[in-house]
Amino acid sequence: MDVGSHGSRLDPWVGSYARRAATMTASEIRALFAVASRPEVVSLAGGMPFVSALPLDAVSGTIARLVTDRGAAALQYGSGQGEPRLREQIAGELMPLVGVATHPDDVVVTVGSQQALDLVTRVFCDPGDVVLAEAPSYVGALSVFAAYQVDVVHVPMDDEGLDPSALRATLDRLAAEGRRAKLLYTIPSFHNPAGVTQGSARRAEVLAACVAAGVLVLEDDPYGLLGFDGVVPRALRADSEEGVVYLGSFSKTFAPGLRVGWAVAPHGVREKLVLAAEASVLCPSEFAQQVVSAYLSEQPWWDQVKGFRELYRERRDALLRELAAQLPEGTRWTVPSGGFYSWVTLPDGLDATAMLPRAVTARVAYVPGTAFYAGPAKALGRASLRLSYCFPEPERIREGVRRLATVVEAELDLQATFGPSLGVRARGAVEVPGPETA
């Protein structure tokens, strides 16, 4: 093939890409994850739900009946807003669990909540607009923001989630600079990657600050039903119909492979989301939606959610026990009360990105903290890493933490001999993650 004057032998189209594609760079840790997915490596990296715990025979019966009884409809195109019966179930059965009263007309079904993140950003953000996000934040959201050339401003969190006074200070600083954030992107419950949950008083403060500043809240809640004490936190959306777009997902409570999520949005926003969704995918998979709808109506799905909570709690306990028993002094971690993740901060001077190749060689994988920050803020994540406990069995978690502890000890020995490794510059570009790091 001819190589154009702006191209290269590897990619002759390099000179033709849109400016937004410049931010779409594969993460340097991707290659490592190819190795990390080998069976001999204990992966504490990916956030894959343990779908093997589903009653697969029963699910298969539901799908078979669906095709036999309603195949012609289930295999047809559907509505851009989503299947009406599923929207009724979301509005009538799911949303009340997080305290939200809504109408099926205000629900937009999406291809996972990931597509909803894309649609909301597309509808609201021009290049250079500001989006506020927790520090750290969900890697998949950061790659959406990067694709729309959004300026992500991180807001600090602590063990109770987003810090409202830091949020107010950030809003004031932006106002003083003559800038206004378009969105606050937040994961109030069982945060990915921080593993923390916001209490109700803080939620009210966050909402009040955003309402006062005219900032729309984008509330991402895929883990809300997976609290280990059985309490489902009340969504921010429950206290503001006009100020919050709520995102839900069946990925963590049923099956991510079906790619079914949803948005509950203020009326005008909902219209825009539907038009944007139609331009993007015409309609979400009718088949997948009908599978979810039939699962909800035929199977004891709430018992299944309770089963998932138990399973993940047991794995969380295994992780926390082992971290306490194995990790050297100076290591800190969050104690998640639900969801899939704990955020670990290494002893002073250690660099989780630099350590990753050594960890993978020792047959354990994690996601380094830098992946969860945008732009120059990446440096903030260098001492940290995310561990997920959702997929490996407790015995594998124990072995994984044992291996990790050996690697951290070896890093401390290196540091004692050669000085701290936190001197290496983190890359500024936004790293597009593979699904394995999501």
Ligand X SMILES: Cc1ncc(COP(=O)(O)O)c(C=O)c1O
**For strand 384-388 and strand 367-368, is the pairing parallel, antiparallel, or unpaired?**
antiparallel
What is the size of the binding site for ligand X (CB under 6 A)? 15
Dihedral class, residue 407 (left if φ above 0, else alpha if ψ from -120 to 50, else beta) = alpha
Instruction: Kindly state whether residue 256 participates in binding ligand X, applying the rule CB under 6 A.
Output: yes
Q: Which residues in 171-190 contact ligand X (CB under 6 A)?
A: 187
Measure the CA–CA gap between 257 and 248, rounded to whole angstroms: 15
Minimum CB separation of residue 91 from ligand X in Å reads 18
* Binding pattern for the stretch 188-207 against ligand X, x by CB under 6 A and - elsewhere: ----x---------------
Region of 56-64, 109-117, 146-154, 314-322 interacting with ligand X (CB under 6 A): 109-117
Helix (H, G, I), strand (E, B) or coil at 425: coil
Structure tokens at 290: 């009908």
Q: Which residues does residue 249 pair with via DSSP β-bridges, in sequence order?
A: 261
Measure the CA–CA gap between 326 and 388, rounded to whole angstroms: 17
Region of 52-60, 110-118, 363-371, 390-398 interacting with ligand X (CB under 6 A): 110-118
Instruction: Kindly state whether residue 261 participates in binding ligand X, applying the rule CB under 6 A.
Output: yes
Task: Spell out the alpha helix ranges (H) of 14-103.
Answer: 30-36, 56-74, 84-89
- Residue from 106, 220, 411, 431 touching ligand X (CB under 6 A): that is 220
Residues sharing a CB contact under 8 Å with residue 227, sequence separation 6 or more, in sequence order? 189, 190, 197, 233, 309, 337, 338
Instruction: Kindly state whether residue 251 participates in binding ligand X, applying the rule CB under 6 A.
Output: yes
Instruction: Kindly state whether residue 114 participates in binding ligand X, applying the rule CB under 6 A.
Output: yes
Phi, psi of 159 (to 5 degrees): -65, -10
Residue nearest to ligand X (CB): 112
Q: Which residues in 18-47 contact ligand X (CB under 6 A)?
A: 47
Is the Cβ–Cβ distance between 233 and 224 less than 8 Å? yes
Going from the C-alpha of 40 to that of each of 85, 360, 362, 389, the distances in angstroms are 44, 10, 10, 17
Instruction: Kindly state whether residue 112 participates in binding ligand X, applying the rule CB under 6 A.
Output: yes
- Residue from 89, 186, 189, 249 touching ligand X (CB under 6 A): that is 249
Minimum CB separation of residue 339 from ligand X in Å reads 8
Region of 112-120, 142-150, 209-217, 407-415 interacting with ligand X (CB under 6 A): 112-120
* Binding pattern for the stretch 125-154 against ligand X, x by CB under 6 A and - elsewhere: -------------x-x--------------
Instruction: Kindly state whether residue 222 participates in binding ligand X, applying the rule CB under 6 A.
Output: yes
- Which residue, 89 or 114, has its beta carbon nearer to ligand X? 114
Q: Give the distance from CA 333 to its chain's centroid.
A: 19
- Which residue, 336 or 421, has its beta carbon nearer to ligand X? 336
Instruction: Kindly state whether residue 438 participates in binding ligand X, applying the rule CB under 6 A.
Output: yes
Q: Which residues in 42-101 contact ligand X (CB under 6 A)?
A: 47
- Which residue, 194 or 401, has its beta carbon nearer to ligand X? 194
Measure the CA–CA gap between 114 and 258, rounded to whole angstroms: 13
- Which residue, 138 or 389, has its beta carbon nearer to ligand X? 138
Minimum CB separation of residue 188 from ligand X in Å reads 11
Region of 106-114, 198-206, 236-244, 327-335 interacting with ligand X (CB under 6 A): 106-114
Measure the CA–CA gap between 93 and 113, rounded to whole angstroms: 18
Peptide bond into 193 cis (omega under 30): yes
Find, among 411, 403, 406, the residue nearest to 383 by Cα. 411
Measure the CA–CA gap between 277 and 117, rounded to whole angstroms: 11
Helix (H, G, I), strand (E, B) or coil at 251: coil
Instruction: Kindly state whether residue 120 participates in binding ligand X, applying the rule CB under 6 A.
Output: no
Minimum CB separation of residue 261 from ligand X in Å reads 4
Minimum CB separation of residue 172 from ligand X in Å reads 27
Going from the C-alpha of 383 to that of each of 191, 249, 409, the distances in angstroms are 19, 31, 15
Residues of this chain that interact with ligand X (CB under 6 A) are 47, 112-114, 138, 140, 187, 192, 220, 222, 249, 251, 256, 261, 438
